[in-house]
Amino acid sequence: MSAAPIWHPSPNYGPRRDGALPDIVVIHYTAMDDAARARDWLCAPEAEVSAHHLIAEDGTHWHMVDEAMRAWHAGAGAWGAVSDVNSRSIGIELANTGAHPFPEPQMAALEALLTRILRDWAIPSERVIAHSCLAPGRKIDPGPRFDWLRLARQGLAVSVEAGWVQPDETLADTLLRRAGYTAPVDAPTRLQAFRLRHRPTGSGPLDGTDMGLITALAGRYPVDALSLTS
């Protein structure tokens, strides 16, 4: 069982805009080689950055911003119709440089945290996303070493399986937008962000494996997903 979170408040937050409530969870890595140093940076006023939670490699969990408040973790980007992702999300930082796998104590603590967040805020697993999903071409975290399938097996994230489908670049880009990849980037960058999350070994032009996965993923989202208010 994971230890209780340690309250370590950051001053870097504000109210969620327009009365928004969190309905997205964004997973990041710190890109720093020391969890305590990352914690201190997320709490430094001059950093102008924060997250609601930070989990170290050994499972130590710091709670830094009240989930009802707006932390400064997402930056520029979009997910579905949401352009102010900070106002609609809870940000979780994982201590990792991106160069190594995420250890068991850290993943166990993340699973416990996600289980509680999704229950408390009634957030569906389809809206647990990577930082790279909302900021294609700008961010890559939590990167190709993160075990999304492990979360999906517990209903804490989305994973899709599909066979080969005839590739169609125009349709693929439309379906990716429907699935949430709406940041203002070109189609190859959008495909790269999708692959980073769902097929990290993929490369080159859109192929039939990509097309099958994209089609299956889009089927998890309502046709009118982009009509949601931002």
Domain range for 33 = 6-153
Instruction: Tell me: do 103 and 176 sit in the same domain.
Output: no
On whether residue 164 sits in a domain, the answer given is no
pLDDT given for residue 3 in this prediction: 78
Q: How many whole angstroms separate alpha carbon 73 and alpha carbon 46? A: 14
Q: Which residues carry out catalysis?
A: 93
> What's the total number of domains in the chain?
2
Mean of pLDDT over the chain: 95
On whether residue 229 sits in a domain, the answer given is no
Instruction: Tell whether the model's pLDDT for residue 214 goes beyond 70.
Output: yes
Instruction: Tell whether the model's pLDDT for residue 10 goes beyond 60.
Output: yes
Widest pairwise Cα distance in the chain:
51
pLDDT given for residue 226 in this prediction: 46
| Tokens 């940076």 sit on residue | 41
Instruction: Tell whether the model's pLDDT for residue 230 goes beyond 70.
Output: no
**Geometric angle at alpha carbon 120, from 65 and 153, rounded to 5°:** 105
On whether residue 62 sits in a domain, the answer given is yes
**Residue 26 · residue 139 · CB < 8 Å:** no
Q: How many whole angstroms separate alpha carbon 199 and alpha carbon 201? A: 6
146-199 tens-digit pLDDT = 999 999 999 999 999 999 999 999 999 999 999 999 999 999 999 999 999 999
pTM for the predicted model, two decimal places: 0.95
**Residue 54 · residue 42 · CB < 8 Å:** yes
On whether residue 60 sits in a domain, the answer given is yes
Confidence of residue 225 (pLDDT cuts 50, 70, 90): very low
**Residue 136 · residue 181 · CB < 8 Å:** yes
Instruction: Tell me: do 108 and 187 sit in the same domain.
Output: no
What is the percentage of the chain residues whose pLDDT exceeds 90? 94
pLDDT given for residue 221 in this prediction: 83
Q: What is the mean pLDDT of residues 78-94?
A: 97
What end-to-end distance do the CA atoms of the chain give, in Å?
A: 37
Instruction: Tell me: do 128 and 185 sit in the same domain.
Output: no
What is the percentage of the chain residues whose pLDDT exceeds 70? 95
On whether residue 51 sits in a domain, the answer given is yes
On whether residue 226 sits in a domain, the answer given is no
Q: By C-alpha distance, which of 120, 121, 140, 113 is closest to 197? A: 140
Q: Are strands 13-14 and 70-71 parallel, antiparallel or unpaired?
A: antiparallel
